[in-house]
Amino acid sequence: MLNTKSAPTQARDNLISQKVTNLPPSGIRKFFDLLSSVEGVISLGIGEPDFVTPWHIREAGTYSLEKGYTMYTSNSGMPELRQELASYLELRYGLSYDPEYEILITVGTSEGLDLALRAIINPGDEVIIPDPCYVAYPANVILAGGVPILVPTGEENNFVVRATDIEAHITKQTKAILIGYPTNPTGAVMSKKEADAIAGLAKKNDLLVISDEIYARLVYGVEHICFPSLPGMKERTILISGFSKSHAMTGWRIGYVAADRRFIQALTKIHQYTMLCAPAMAQVAAIEALRNGESEVEKMVQEYNRRRRFMVKRLNEIGLPCFEPKGAFYAFPSIKTTGMNSEEFAEKLLLEEKVAVVPGTAFGPCGEGFVRCCYATSLPNIEEALKRMDRFIRKSRLKSE
């Protein structure tokens, strides 16, 4: 074997930090590479809206460029946007945040998450995360110097984490609980009772709660519980959200954090050194989204709901049992009866029937035996994908008999 190592890596093998070297690669990335090699795939693996941002919002963004909004904004974000957000949170959840000191505009929910974790974690602090969870949570905790502690959830409780299970994982090092309901990848939502139990635990053990509510607007037939609106939780919850899912604005990179002044001050400190401010054009667009976007949000939610019902019914019919997901745009059916594990199922389904789903294990060990199917794609696509999945399951049953 020839030595093909380039000079610098020969000179030193600590070029990349230990932390990053040890960070496991995203389970989705691996699948992405495989997917790129297959043609004619119907993808149920895309975790973002298939709608283009509503026209009035795009138009506002374009107009902002024409008017020359091309400079840095205030670190915290445009005052009008923070004001609109304060009114929005007041109106929807009865929460009152001071737009000047308690709201920070970020580059997507992603930045908010990163800031929140970096702002609160001391080396070795533990952060409790329900498993399965959004791929970035454990990685973000590790990058911030903390230790992610995964708490298992399962089908029997519709993938909502139980307070008693969290309690069993609390140690002296526990600093915070990081939750995201409605949940990517399961579509689970939390009831008032379940949320209250976790709030009680946080108070009893003096823990912070980081609540990623990016899917708050995508709920079906239930009310979203905004975590900081629970009694006594506003001062110990860092609320993180954004416009990506509610207003189909993933590519704009715009989100926000709302929390007690102590936290926002700390987060802003990091934000001003690392990011300066969120994109100006996206901030102007977000103002328009809040002022005039309601009917478009409702239209999209209604459309997702139709697709959701369709997909869940078909999954159950073809023999992939699926609990009713009441939020986000994911269904999380069990594939255990096929005898395959998640990765095997997803890989074979892709190669044999050209349908992409994401193996549940990409979201944590408790995702084993499940796959994530996203219904943010057209009904005809969903129909065809399920037809193919049906065929795939029948074939594999015949083979194993």
Partner 1 sequence: MKEIFEILEQNGRATPEQISTMVDKPVSEVEKIIKQAEKDGTILKYKTIVNWPKLGEEDIWALIEVRVAPQRDVGFDAIAERIYQFPEVYSAYLVSGTYDLALLVKGKNMQGISSFVTEKLAPLERVQSTVTHFLLKRYKENGETFHLPKEINKRLPITP
Ligand X SMILES: Cc1ncc(COP(=O)(O)O)c(C=O)c1O
The count of chain residues that interact with partner 1, using the rule CB under 8 A, is: 25
Residue 391 structure tokens: 């065929």
Cβ proximity to ligand X, 76 vs 109, nearer residue: 109
Q: Alpha-carbon distance 146 to 123, whole Å?
A: 6
The minimum distance between CB 310 and partner 1, in angstroms, equals: 5
Q: Alpha-carbon distance 236 to 199, whole Å?
A: 10
Residue 109 interacts with, from partner 1, ligand X, none (CB under 5-8 Å by kind): ligand X
The minimum distance between CB 124 and partner 1, in angstroms, equals: 27
Tokens 């709030």 sit at which residue?
199
The minimum distance between CB 36 and partner 1, in angstroms, equals: 7
Residue 217 interacts with, from partner 1, ligand X, none (CB under 5-8 Å by kind): none
The alpha helices in 72-211, defined as continuous H runs, are: 79-93, 108-120, 136-143, 163-167, 192-204
Cβ proximity to ligand X, 113 vs 312, nearer residue: 113
The minimum distance between CB 348 and partner 1, in angstroms, equals: 16
Q: Are 312 and 221 in contact (CB under 8 A)?
A: no
The minimum distance between CB 45 and partner 1, in angstroms, equals: 4
Residue 117 interacts with, from partner 1, ligand X, none (CB under 5-8 Å by kind): none
Q: Alpha-carbon distance 265 to 281, whole Å?
A: 24
Phi/psi for 262 (5° steps) reads -55, -45
Site string for partner 1, 269-308 (x = CB under 8 A): ---------------------------------x---xx-
- Helix or strand holding residue 358 (H, E): strand 358-359
Counting contacts by CB under 8 A, is residue 323 touching partner 1?
no
Q: Looking at 110, 140, 211, 237, which residue binds ligand X (CB under 6 A)?
A: 110
Which one of 13-21, 37-45, 99-107, 260-268 is the stretch in contact with partner 1 (CB under 8 A)? Answer: 37-45
The minimum distance between CB 311 and ligand X, in angstroms, equals: 18
Counting contacts by CB under 6 A, is residue 47 touching ligand X?
yes
Counting contacts by CB under 6 A, is residue 244 touching ligand X?
yes
Cβ proximity to partner 1, 5 vs 309, nearer residue: 309
Q: Alpha-carbon distance 108 to 255, whole Å?
A: 4
The minimum distance between CB 43 and ligand X, in angstroms, equals: 15
Pairing state between β 330-331 and 358-359: unpaired
Q: Looking at 109, 153, 158, 211, which residue binds ligand X (CB under 6 A)?
A: 109
Q: Looking at 35, 143, 266, 297, which residue binds partner 1 (CB under 8 A)?
A: 35
DSSP sequence for 253-305: --EEEE--HHHHHHHHHHHHHHTSS--HHHHHHHHHHHHH-HHHHHHHHHHHH
Q: Alpha-carbon distance 100 to 215, whole Å?
A: 25
Which one of 120-128, 131-139, 273-281, 392-400 is the stretch in contact with partner 1 (CB under 8 A)? Answer: 131-139
Buried b (16+ CB within 10 A) or exposed e, 165-200: ebeeebeeebbbbbbbbbbbbbbbbbeeebbbbbbe
Query: In whole angstroms, how far apart are CA 246 and each of 243, 321, 325, 386?
Result: 5, 28, 17, 26
Counting contacts by CB under 6 A, is residue 158 touching ligand X?
no
Counting contacts by CB under 8 A, is residue 129 touching partner 1?
no
Instruction: Calculate ∠ Cα 277-256-63, nearest 5°.
Output: 60
Counting contacts by CB under 8 A, is residue 36 touching partner 1?
yes
Counting contacts by CB under 6 A, is residue 250 touching ligand X?
yes
Burial zone of 55 (CB within 10 Å; 0-12 exposed, 13-18 middle, 19+ buried): exposed
Q: Which residues bind partner 1 (CB under 8 A)?
A: 26, 28, 31-32, 35-36, 41, 43, 45-48, 50, 134-136, 184, 302, 306-307, 309-310, 313, 356, 358
Q: Which residues bind ligand X (CB under 6 A)?
A: 47, 108-110, 134, 180, 184, 212, 214, 242, 244, 250, 255
